[in-house]
Chains A and B, each alone.
Chain A
Amino acid sequence: MKRFIILTKAMTLMYLRNGYVLFWNFIFPILLMFIYGAIMSQYMDYMTPGVIVLNALSFGLVSSSTMMLEMREKGVLRRLQATPLPAIQLIGSYLLVNIVIGVLQSSLIIVAGALLYKVPVNISGLLLAYPMILFGLLAFMALGGVISGVAAKAGAATAVGMTVYFLLMFISDMIFPLDMLPAWLRNIVPYLPAYPVAQLVRSAMLDASLNPNWLSQMALLAAYGIGATLIAAKLFRWEPKA
């Protein structure tokens, strides 16, 4: 346990000292809010939960893997592999730090929404929204883990992650409402991972309620999360592909 704590502290320090990572994780989400606020300030009630999920999506698919991929590429993972540290502790510590960062990012966006755009937030809504955000984050990070496992290099993982992100961003009822999509796409979207999270977070945050499909939506997310975790664990590599 002491080992886990020291390792987790070290990971946190590494995060905090990396300006590039800090920018993407903490400045970028706020910028997103400014950008959307500037374009459609009257829709910010609808937009704010969307931005939270949007951000969780890019964080989960791309940013949350960055440091791990860098460590893999530079040979740090191989050095760690030579120590008696069990892989599960390394990954657990890394995930913990990233989950905390993901939740902090969402909080930043909520605060920005409330202060800048008077988005109504209340305690009961937030109490319901946070577990949903967490649920989504975990599923997205697991998918990011699969991408990291498949990609040979960090650059490739970012490219794949961003592509998936952009595809999901436009069709998952985060920026554009679902009825703007063609019918065939509208039938597929509910089975993709981002849409259910957007639904769950939005109704939780704004109405402090669960939407009628919450159970099946959460089951779907759990399936994505568990499936992706198993695949990511199988694909985990200590070294970059030669």
Chain B
Amino acid sequence: MSQESMININNVVAAYGALTALNDVSLNVQKGEIFGLLGPNGAGKTTLLACVEGLHKPKQGETLVGGINVQADSVATKRQLGIQLQKTALLDDLTVAELVKVYAALYEVYLTSKEIDVLLARFDLVEKRNTLARRLSGGQQQRLALAVAIANDPQIVLLDEPTSALDPHARRAMWDIVRQLHNEGRTIVLTTHAMEEAEALCGRVAIIDRGRIVACDAPSALIARLKLNPMLKATVELPLEQVRALPGVSAARYTGEHLEVETARPEAALTALHELAARLDRSIRDVALRQPNLEDVFLKLTGRELAEQN
């Protein structure tokens, strides 16, 4: 990867009135990477993108796109970006093809109808070219939003939760599209709540929590750095405090009906778990051991579930 910085965010503080949405955030996105912004609802992901997009003026700090300061010359920075906002709203009552044409034109890029069809084909929307955008299904609208985002052939693409409304199959298809855009040499920043999405797509991720970046690195590096233990998964109902007190157990939580136990010594922990279950007259089903993933990193860093332990 060449070390050319496409986006620099330097000590940005952003606020809505009295609410501080971003608190001294700094980030660099390099040319040609897929960069993920990961964080819970309200963490500040959309606000961070808005600062890059020139839609939100930071209270402090600066944002550069392709070396140009967004505050100083927002037209020049907007020109380099392809944008999909979290809330999709294009122009009403226009067809799919008309929308692509108009949005490209707003960047002074004038597409022929042939070029429009080529673009729509990538997003499997050719048959819908003359359909009004508001008559598309949610997933089709999301694909259209992406087609519109790259209509101006941008070098940097900012995607705010591009897969949030998609079924698992469509989500995979969207991943393929994102990878294609990446293979064409574009730099991509995307936000997501889905850890497996970040792991699958992103070369690096920044984990944001309550307006702060709590970690920024390659997913595998984050997992390695935190020296997380493997996770023991089981379907069983046991009181968490008692599970946490078991030998070999360093953390425990419930995700849905599954008990997840972090342990450096899986055998010892499993034995202890069985003993506890027997004592409480509960049955254990579906035991499995899995390697730590980004989800665990996230929980560890943001301290949500694990905070209960202390």
Which residues of A in the span 8-54 have a Cβ within 8 Å of any Cβ on B? 10, 13-14, 17-18
Structural contact, B107 and A10, CB atoms closer than 8 A? no
Cβ-closest chain B residue relative to A80: B106
Interface centre among B54, B79, B92 (most CB of A within 10 A): B92
Which residues of A in the span 216-242 have a Cβ within 8 Å of any Cβ on B? 242
Q: How far is the CA of A7 from the CA of B105 in the complex (A)?
A: 8
Rounded to whole Å, the gap between the CB of B70 and the closest CB of chain A is: 11
Task: Say whether B179 faces chain A, with CB atoms less than 8 Å apart.
Answer: no
Task: Say whether B170 faces chain A, with CB atoms less than 8 Å apart.
Answer: no
Structural contact, A2 and B89, CB atoms closer than 8 A? no
Of A70, A71, A84, the residue contacting B106 (CB under 8 A) is A84
Rounded to whole Å, the gap between the CB of B253 and the closest CB of chain A is: 35
A: contact size bracket? 20 to 34
Kindly list chain B residues whose C-beta atoms are within 8 Å of the C-beta of A83: 78, 83, 103, 106-107
Task: Say whether B101 faces chain A, with CB atoms less than 8 Å apart.
Answer: yes
Known A74-B89, A78-B89: A2·B105 in contact at CB below 8 Å: yes
Q: How far is the CA of A71 from the CA of B92 in the complex (A)?
A: 8
Task: Say whether A92 faces chain B, with CB atoms less than 8 Å apart.
Answer: no
Task: Say whether B102 faces chain A, with CB atoms less than 8 Å apart.
Answer: yes
Task: Say whether B55 faces chain A, with CB atoms less than 8 Å apart.
Answer: yes
Structural contact, B53 and A82, CB atoms closer than 8 A? yes
Structural contact, B106 and A75, CB atoms closer than 8 A? no
Indicate with 1 or 0, residue by residue over B75-117, a CB within 8 angstroms of chain A CB atoms. Answer: 1001101010101011111100010011101111010000000
Of A6, A79, A242, the residue contacting B101 (CB under 8 A) is A6
Structural contact, B53 and A6, CB atoms closer than 8 A? no
Task: Say whether A212 faces chain B, with CB atoms less than 8 Å apart.
Answer: no
Q: How far is the CA of A74 from the CA of B53 in the complex (A)?
A: 19
Q: How far is the CA of A134 from the CA of B73 in the complex (A)?
A: 37
Task: Say whether A76 faces chain B, with CB atoms less than 8 Å apart.
Answer: yes
Residues of chain B at the chain A interface (Cβ within 8 Å): 16, 53-55, 75, 78-79, 81, 83, 85, 87, 89-94, 98, 101-103, 105-108, 110, 132
Identify 14 residue pairs between A and B in the complex whose beta-carbon atoms are under 8 Å apart, listed by A's number. Answer: A2-B105, A3-B108, A6-B101, A14-B91, A17-B132, A18-B93, A71-B92, A81-B54, A81-B55, A83-B103, A83-B107, A84-B75, A84-B78, A84-B108
- Since A10-B94, A71-B91 are in contact, a sample of 12 more A-B pairs with Cβ atoms closer than 8 Å, ordered by chain A residue number, is A2-B108, A10-B102, A14-B94, A18-B93, A76-B90, A76-B92, A82-B53, A82-B83, A83-B106, A84-B75, A85-B106, A86-B75
Top 6 A-B residue pairs of the complex, sorted by shortest distance between their CB atoms: A75-B89, A17-B93, A6-B105, A83-B106, A84-B78, A85-B106
